[in-house]
Structure 1
Amino acid sequence: MTDANLFEAVERQSGIRRSIGAALGVVKDLAATPYTAIALITFVIFLIVAFIAPAVISDATSINPLLRLKPPSSDHLFGTDHLGREIILMVLVGTRTSMTIGLTVAALTVVLGVTIGLFGGYFRWGELTLMRLMDGMMAIPSLLLAIALVALWGAGFWTVVVAIVVNDTPRMARVVRSTVVNVKGLPFIDAARTIGTPTWKILGLHILPNTIGPVTVQATYVFASAILIEAILSFLGAGMPPSIPSWGAMIAEGRFMFQIAPWVIMIPGGALTILVLCVNVLGDALRERLDPRLRVRRD
């Protein structure tokens, strides 16, 4: 191994160690206060349930007319719905639907929004074309877009994902663009251009790392927003198909029986509220951790 290759290997290992150390530092800061620690633990529990529950629960949608609208008890922990299905099983399996949609939408929004924001903030042509396109996309209501897509493609996972991503990507792109515009005028970027650094290296090695903080915070908002919008779409009948358990679909089906069986709505609605609240608390904590101005003010 040559000295240059050895140096690159050492630098790569050092970068990995720094990344792991930074991630552990963020987790430590999130667990430093009781309410963020509770939010983090609750979110991890939801995440574990999303992956384990569908594999453990064989059939959460089995119908038993003899057990219709049973109130919560020792035999039926969270009661049953109008078809005799166990609410607790439906909520646990429905967790995967909400978490999967939230993570998928957040990942796609970050990839698309960061890419568009980088080009839109660094290049003049990107400002004139890409960001104007983002402005036009922001004018499209996500609910109306979802209803139109359902009419074309039918209700399904990707219909919901596309409807939400189209609506959230412009916001992510604008957040990234504002950071790029501020960073590209700094002296170290001018120095990189002066010594002939390729544009892709400037974007990937110098500008992109400075967008991680704002992007992470915006991604938590997108995650929570996607879960809420999915529930709204399922409530309106434009979300997930009836064969897939969903919190929004459970609330929609139970709204006609709320007066005689309020647990049918309260249980999935409570799970939805708790998950979105935890994500918002973690988002605020990450913003305080990653924004230097807020850290100085707090300290």
Structure 2
Amino acid sequence: MEPTVSIAELGIKKPKKKERNFIVITKRLIKNKLAVIGLIIIAIQICMAIFSPLLTGHDPIKQNLANSELPIFSEDHWLGTDNYGRDVWSRIVYGSRISLVVGITAVSLGLIGGIILGLLGGYYKKLDGIIMRIVDLLFSFPGILLAMLIIAILGTSLVNVAIAISIWSIPSCARIVRGSVLSIKEKEYIMAMKSLGASDFRIMVKHILPNAFAPIIVFATMRMATAILSTAALSYLGLGAQPPTPEWGAMIAQGQGFMWSSPHLTIVPGIAIMLTVFAFNVVGDGLRDALDPNMDIQ
């Protein structure tokens, strides 16, 4: 039976939301110059992913052997072409779409699994031991090796890469959520909700989870960097995107044989990966500081 008396009537106040105010957080984030640069890079990549057909006039998988290995700033191919005559700029632009889609999918699936396990483990002591042992088991495998094992079982494809990275993300997310739940569930307003007869599901979803969002948001942002880098690494090893898919890691693998004659085939996608990973990492750092209630605006 749901409570008919509000916790405010019991004289117990919920934590103030002033420190989580959107304007306050935005001001803190803007003060961080690196985070602003990261946001700009991410915004550019999102625009590239959405408007890919408008940003290039070339098909990223169409071959033209007559124009193979053109250098940077060639006519009609400002980032040159690869050994099959495919426009490198087009492949970079369409590759941003693949990186974002795989990254967002992997992180979202990892968050769903991690949040569920973290909530259950942190709230129910009887389940905590079982869930944490499962988490410890997943932690016992190095992340990239765990992803490779899962792909070896499921097969090589970008869908399976997203699944593998999401499974790799679950234990870290579960530990973060569990730690927040253990702290929040001892608060006065949570005890008041229990005494008023609120269901465990209502308490976890409506009162505990919203107050645990700050570390989850930071984790998700920084995990995007890991997911994009891991996608590139797995594709480089031949376990992810398959030719002729324009994926950055696969582009590096295909271009490494032409490092001396056409170094741009490796350097350009490498720079794209570096900038994207850098952007998500610095934005994650900035969000961590902005969401810290102990930080004051100067």
TM-score over 0.5 for the pair:
yes
Tell me what 1:60 maps to.
60
Q: Residues of 1 paired with 2:145 and 2:54: CA distance?
A: 35
Q: Residue 69 in 1 paired to residue 82 in 2?
A: no
Tell me what 2:226 maps to.
225
1:151 is displaced (CA, Å) by 3.8
Tell me what 2:115 maps to.
114
Q: Residues of 1 paired with 2:105 and 2:149: CA distance?
A: 21
Q: Residues of 2 paired with 1:236 and 1:163: CA distance?
A: 15
The one-letter code matched in structure 2 to 1:105 is: A
Structure 1 unaligned runs (5+)?
Answer: 1-17
1:41 is displaced (CA, Å) by 1.8
CA offset digits 1:78-105 (Å, max 9, x no partner): 1111111111111001111101111111
The one-letter code matched in structure 1 to 2:264 is: W
Change in Cα spacing, 1:152 to 1:246, as seen in structure 2 (3 Å) is same
With the length of structure 1 as denominator, give the TM-score of the two structures.
Answer: 0.86
CA contact (8 A) 2:35 2:286 kept: yes
Give the structure, 1 or 2, with the largest relative contact order (CA under 8 Å, sep 6 or more). 2
The one-letter code matched in structure 2 to 1:60 is: P
Q: How big is the alpha-carbon RMSD for the aligned residues of Structure 1 and Structure 2?
A: 2.3
Tell me what 1:183 maps to.
184
Q: Residue 85 in 1 paired to residue 120 in 2?
A: no
Greater alpha carbon shift after TM alignment, 198-207 vs 50-59 = 50-59
3-state SS, counterpart of residue 80 of structure 1: coil
Q: Residues of 2 paired with 1:173 and 1:149: CA distance?
A: 19
Q: How many residues in Structure 1 have an aligned counterpart in Structure 2?
A: 280
Q: Residues of 2 paired with 1:244 and 1:74: CA distance?
A: 23
Which has more helix, going by share of residues?
A: 1
Change in Cα spacing, 1:149 to 1:196, as seen in structure 2 (3 Å) is closer
Change in Cα spacing, 1:28 to 1:124, as seen in structure 2 (3 Å) is same
Tell me what 1:13 maps to.
none
Greater alpha carbon shift after TM alignment, 32-41 vs 190-199 = 32-41
Q: Residues of 2 paired with 1:237 and 1:162: CA distance?
A: 16
Tell me what 1:50 maps to.
49
CA contact (8 A) 1:30 1:40 kept: no
Tell me what 2:159 maps to.
158
1:292 is displaced (CA, Å) by 1.6
Greater alpha carbon shift after TM alignment, 190-199 vs 23-32 = 23-32
Tell me what 2:3 maps to.
none
Tell me what 2:30 maps to.
31
Change in Cα spacing, 1:186 to 1:50, as seen in structure 2 (3 Å) is same
Change in Cα spacing, 1:24 to 1:74, as seen in structure 2 (3 Å) is farther
3-state SS, counterpart of residue 129 of structure 1: helix
CA contact (8 A) 1:102 1:223 kept: yes
Q: Residues of 2 paired with 1:26 and 1:131: CA distance?
A: 33
CA offset digits 1:173-206 (Å, max 9, x no partner): 0000001111111222212212222111211122
With the length of structure 2 as denominator, give the TM-score of the two structures.
Answer: 0.87
Greater alpha carbon shift after TM alignment, 133-142 vs 85-94 = 133-142
User: What is the 5 A alignment of 1:205-244?
Assistant: 205-244=206-245
Tell me what 1:203 maps to.
204
Tell me what 1:7 maps to.
none
Identity of aligned residues (%): 34
CA contact (8 A) 1:141 1:167 kept: no
Change in Cα spacing, 1:134 to 1:54, as seen in structure 2 (3 Å) is farther
Greater alpha carbon shift after TM alignment, 157-166 vs 47-56 = 47-56
Q: Residues of 2 paired with 1:130 and 1:271: CA distance?
A: 38
The one-letter code matched in structure 1 to 2:203 is: I
Tell me what 2:6 maps to.
none
3-state SS, counterpart of residue 193 of structure 1: helix
CA contact (8 A) 1:145 1:163 kept: yes
3-state SS, counterpart of residue 31 of structure 1: helix
1:172 is displaced (CA, Å) by 0.4
1:54 is displaced (CA, Å) by 4.7
